[in-house]
């Protein structure tokens, strides 16, 4: 099965060190104004979803969704990740449109 384009793009952004993952680090980057896009997994805990969405909303950082933590983790070469922040506007814009397309099917 061919992986979606956004997975490759996240991998590329990660190699360029423009990705931060994990709940605490993501919140920190949102607060510092460094996060350009938040990618959140559908299977994150309700608590995590709320915390990240509230922060992102307050700091006006767009949030995009992916199906599950394993795909997200795999994209950055880790086990499983429920949330990551993209720290580069270029990557964030492209990723945002790829994830929008992904959700449309």
At residue 105, the pLDDT reads 63
Provide the whole-model pTM.
Answer: 0.94
Q: Which domains, ranges and CATH numbers included, belong to the chain?
A: 5-104 (3.30.1330.30)
Tell me the DSSP string of 15-70: HTT-EEESHHHHHHHHHHT--SEEEEETTS-HHHHHHHHHHHHHTT--EEEES-HH
* 39-74 confidence digits (pLDDT tens): 999 999 999 999 999 999 999 999 999 999 999 999
At residue 101, the pLDDT reads 82
End-to-end CA separation in angstroms for the chain: 16
Instruction: State the pLDDT confidence band at 23, using cuts at 50, 70 and 90.
Output: very high
């Amino acid at each position: 099965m061919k992986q979606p384009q956004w997975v490759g793009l996240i991998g590329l952004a990660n190699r360029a060190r423009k990705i931060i993952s994990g709940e605490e680090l993501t919140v920190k980057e949102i607060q510092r104004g460094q996060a350009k896009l938040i990618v959140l997994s559908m299977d994150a805990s309700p608590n995590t979803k709320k915390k990240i969405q509230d922060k992102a909303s307050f700091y006006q950082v767009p949030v995009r969704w992916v199906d599950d933590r394993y795909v997200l983790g795999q994209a950055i070469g880790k086990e499983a990740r429920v949330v990551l922040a993209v720290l580069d506007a270029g990557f964030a814009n492209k990723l945002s449109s790829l994830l929008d397309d992904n959700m449309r099917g």
